[in-house]
């Protein structure tokens, strides 16, 4: 009976599968599947915001938002008075509260008609994504 060595013969065929498995494992080890943060951002924020530096839209660019004082994105001037005078410096906890309910954190903000993201998992993914853009 003829035996074929599948280990070496199949290696080129299976190499991409192994590589993909390693990438997925590494991403899940960090607690997030690949592409999930951008998807959560796109589904909830992209209508008004970008994460590209200086790409201000209806809302300011959220590039490097973690650690930035509210109302100070470079090149963006359409902030509400409430946000400009809030004294907030964006960190993960403050972003979580704001994304949950912007009006509760900064009354009279310009985030209309955005009411917030009630899904805790989605908020965590958005914040992780924003943190990765710093």
In total, how many domains does the chain have?
2
Q: Are 67 and 99 part of one and the same domain?
A: yes
Residues 64-122: pLDDT tens digits? Answer: 999 999 999 999 999 999 999 999 999 999 999 999 999 999 998 999 899 999 999 99
Sign of CA dihedral 64, 69, 70, 71: negative
- Is there a single domain that holds both residue 10 and residue 43? no
- Tens digit of pLDDT for each residue in 19-48? 333 333 333 334 444 556 899 999 999 999
User: Looking at the structure, do residues 25 and 77 belong to the same domain, yes or no?
Assistant: no
Domain match, 4 and 27 both? yes
Looking at the fold, whether 24 and 65 belong to one and the same domain comes out as no
CATH number of the domain within which 123 lies: 1.10.760.10
What is the pTM assigned to this prediction? 0.72
């Amino acid at each position: 009976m003829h035996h074929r060595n599948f280990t070496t013969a199949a290696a080129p065929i299976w190499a991409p599968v192994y590589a993909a498995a390693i990438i997925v494992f590494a991403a899940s080890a960090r607690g997030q599947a690949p592409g999930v943060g951008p998807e959560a951002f796109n589904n909830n924020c992209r209508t008004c915001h970008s994460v590209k530096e200086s790409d201000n839209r209806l809302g300011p660019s959220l590039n490097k938002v973690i650690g930035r004082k509210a109302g100070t994105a470079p090149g963006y001037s359409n902030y509400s008075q409430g946000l400009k005078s809030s004294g907030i410096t964006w960190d993960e906890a403050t972003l979580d509260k704001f994304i949950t309910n912007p009006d509760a954190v900064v009354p009279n903000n310009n985030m209309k008609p955005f009411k917030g993201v009630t899904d805790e998992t989605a908020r965590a993914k958005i914040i992780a994504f924003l943190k990765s853009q710093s």
